[in-house]
Structure 1
Amino acid sequence: MARSQNMFPGLALLALGAVAALISCSSSGGKDEGSSANRKSEVITQLSFETANDALSALRIAADENDLEYLREIFGPEASELSSDDPERDNAERLRFAAAMREFCELRPIEGGVGGFHVIVGASRIEFPVPLMQHDGRWMFDTLAGVEAMIDYRVGVNEIRTLAAMRDLPGLQREYFAVDRDGDGIQEYAQRMRSSPGMRDGLYWESRDNEPDSPLGPYAANAAEAYQEGLGYNGYEYRILTGQGAGAPGGARSYMKGKDMVHGFAFIAVPAIYDRTGVMTFIVGPDGVVYEKDLGPNTKGVAAAISLFDPAGWSKSED
């Protein structure tokens, strides 16, 4: 994996969500700390605090009241970069983080003598990824310093989930193949992730009552939760490949026989936004071995030209 998935404890997604849940912030104007109830509506800038404990108290109040304006003020305009563009998901993340803060909340000195603090929250003692630092004698959340770390973490989570999905997909293709889905007397693999309207030519279709689920049906709820317009599923977009190149086991061949895909299958998963939702591109073929490669800043263009499964020059994905 290109990004570290172990920068924070496994439940650090709570901490990530508390800041990633912020919608756009604006800058300019000056403002100091105050209670949530007494603050006036004005142009937002980042708050500073007399003590680190004051900053922690402000975060606790804003989280507990789910006060989006106050959160914007606490973290400043840099936090806008982490918005998920999904208000319902953002709200759920804020509520989860508030619950974690009610369970446990303390300041822990940053190692290395830099003079700042990490905020530790929840029963699992999650380290909040935005450090609390002193500037000109006052305390502020150093959101800019935490942005890259949080993007790294988000990328790592997306890559882990995508790798798991790629390992599941070959089994779903074999499940699809086990039944003649279109009644033409030929068992074949799906050529689409989602079926055409009224058809069963993809791994997913909407099943009616008392009908068997599509192979992807049991995953549908999680997939819907993971999907974001323009950002794919957990930050990745999936495509089915219909042949393989010379570097694949068994050499170059098409999986097609006429209009039916009967000789094999392969998948490719591509970051929706390179270096923000993912870094590695993943491929998997009929043997279920997943490979990965960093295709660089032009990942979308390079991946769009990939029509065959050919792992030559790719690395096997590790857990």
Structure 2
Amino acid sequence: MNASAQESTMFQKPRPRASTVVGALILMGGLLLTADYANAQAVYPTPAAAADALQQALATYDKDALRKVLGADYKQFIPIGTIDMDDVYAFLAAYAKHHEIVDDGKGTAHLQAGDEGWTLPVPIEQGAAGWHFNIRQAHDEVALRRIGRNELAAIQTVLAIGDAQRDFAKAKGETVYARRFISHPGKQDGLYWPAADGAPESPLGELASTMDPNAPPDEAYHGYRYRILTAQGSDAPGGARNYLEDDAMRGGYAVIAWPAKYGQTGVMTFIGGSDGKVYQRNFGPQTASEAARVRRYDPDPGWQRVPDSQIANE
């Protein structure tokens, strides 16, 4: 299962069959099952037993079991409601194929599943009573994985925009590129226009509708915002020049992608141009204002090139 499965939502448990009422029996026995006890997180004799309990809870769609296994805060990690079932099946298949416990010898262990060593971001920790999942310790790791996934998606999107620009020029039959993501109404002057009978399909498709540079962070495509650049600087191949000629973008194309919320949806800012390369830079907490000042594709020494090997592996 890939890292994104950790933040997927959990599917609804099927409605249970009617069962006998045990409350009266408990009271008759003079026992009071408190809410704290009922919701207490389970501990296990070994990390492997904890891992097996998690696998069983997922395999049986049992949210009560998940609460027992992961603790009362489990919904922050696996919120019930809209899980992608493929993620669950992928994890269960990987677990069945191969799984192992990696113990650091200091009271913390991690579950690895599948042949590629995918690691569950929730550590299994040893306490006085036994081993348990520490979901609070998973928050930082989940956030880091989310950022990494968003950044990889941003790199691929920058490249996809380049492909779309070349398709746009090919469709026009001349060297001219789109200055905007969304076409003006009734026109085909952007990378996206509504589908219509007899009309060519737009190069970027509906993906372009998610690239509003002013979109709220929770609506930004994989946590990133995008803007088309209409010029390049002296550090770009061929030197400084304006791409615009007679109000048409003929001299090249470029794009910038920056995190909608620095440190939460992403860290690195990316630029890519008609040379097919992608560069990255960490502008820090001032990313939004710094990205707004980038008006040209100019990969000066402050930018680091994203290795081709990293791009090819995605």
Match of 1:288 among 268, 276, 292: 276
Shift of 1:190: 0.7
- For the 8 Å contact 1:86–1:228, the answer to whether it is kept is no
Match of 2:2 among 12, 15, 31: 12
- For the 8 Å contact 2:44–2:132, the answer to whether it is kept is no
1:29 aligned partner = none
Does 2:252 correspond to 1:264? yes
Task: Report the 3-state secondary structure (helix = DSSP H, G, I; strand = E; otherwise coil) of the residue aligned with 1:298.
Answer: helix
Match of 1:58 among 47, 53, 57: 53
Does 2:306 correspond to 1:317? yes
Match of 2:118 among 126, 148, 152: 126
Unaligned runs of 5+ in 2: 11-21, 24-32
- For the 8 Å contact 2:42–2:68, the answer to whether it is kept is no
> CA separation in 1, counterparts of 2:76 and 2:286?
21
1:5 aligned partner = none
- For the 8 Å contact 1:195–1:203, the answer to whether it is kept is yes
Shift of 1:151: 2.3
45-54 or 140-149: bigger deviation: 45-54
1:213 aligned partner = 201
Specify whether residues 45 and 198 from structure 1 end up closer, same or farther in structure 2 by C-alpha distance, changes over 3 A only: farther
Specify whether residues 80 and 205 from structure 1 end up closer, same or farther in structure 2 by C-alpha distance, changes over 3 A only: farther
- For the 8 Å contact 1:281–1:294, the answer to whether it is kept is yes
Specify whether residues 244 and 220 from structure 1 end up closer, same or farther in structure 2 by C-alpha distance, changes over 3 A only: closer
Q: Could you give the per-residue CA deviations for residues 15-54 of structure 1, whole angstroms, max 9, x where no partner exists?
A: x51x41358xxxxxxxxxxxxxx99996896613142355
Q: Which amino acid counterpart does residue 103 of structure 2 have in structure 1? A: I
- For the 8 Å contact 1:271–1:280, the answer to whether it is kept is yes
Specify whether residues 293 and 190 from structure 1 end up closer, same or farther in structure 2 by C-alpha distance, changes over 3 A only: same
Does 2:90 correspond to 1:92? no
Match of 1:166 among 126, 137, 158: 158
Shift of 1:292: 0.7
Match of 1:67 among 42, 62, 67: 62
Match of 1:234 among 211, 218, 222: 222
Specify whether residues 72 and 208 from structure 1 end up closer, same or farther in structure 2 by C-alpha distance, changes over 3 A only: farther
1:203 aligned partner = 191
Specify whether residues 228 and 105 from structure 1 end up closer, same or farther in structure 2 by C-alpha distance, changes over 3 A only: farther
266-275 or 148-157: bigger deviation: 148-157
Larger RCO: 1 or 2 (CA < 8 Å, sep 6+): 1
Match of 1:149 among 138, 141, 144: 141
Give aligned pairs, total: 281
Task: Report the 3-state secondary structure (helix = DSSP H, G, I; strand = E; otherwise coil) of the residue aligned with 2:132.
Answer: strand
Does 2:134 correspond to 1:136? no
> CA separation in 1, counterparts of 2:251 and 2:49?
65
Unaligned runs of 5+ in 1: 1-10, 24-37
Match of 2:171 among 152, 169, 179: 179
1:301 aligned partner = 289
Specify whether residues 161 and 263 from structure 1 end up closer, same or farther in structure 2 by C-alpha distance, changes over 3 A only: same
> CA separation in 2, counterparts of 1:93 and 1:297?
36
1:8 aligned partner = none
286-295 or 51-60: bigger deviation: 51-60
Shift of 1:131: 1.6
- For the 8 Å contact 2:253–2:273, the answer to whether it is kept is yes
Specify whether residues 70 and 293 from structure 1 end up closer, same or farther in structure 2 by C-alpha distance, changes over 3 A only: same
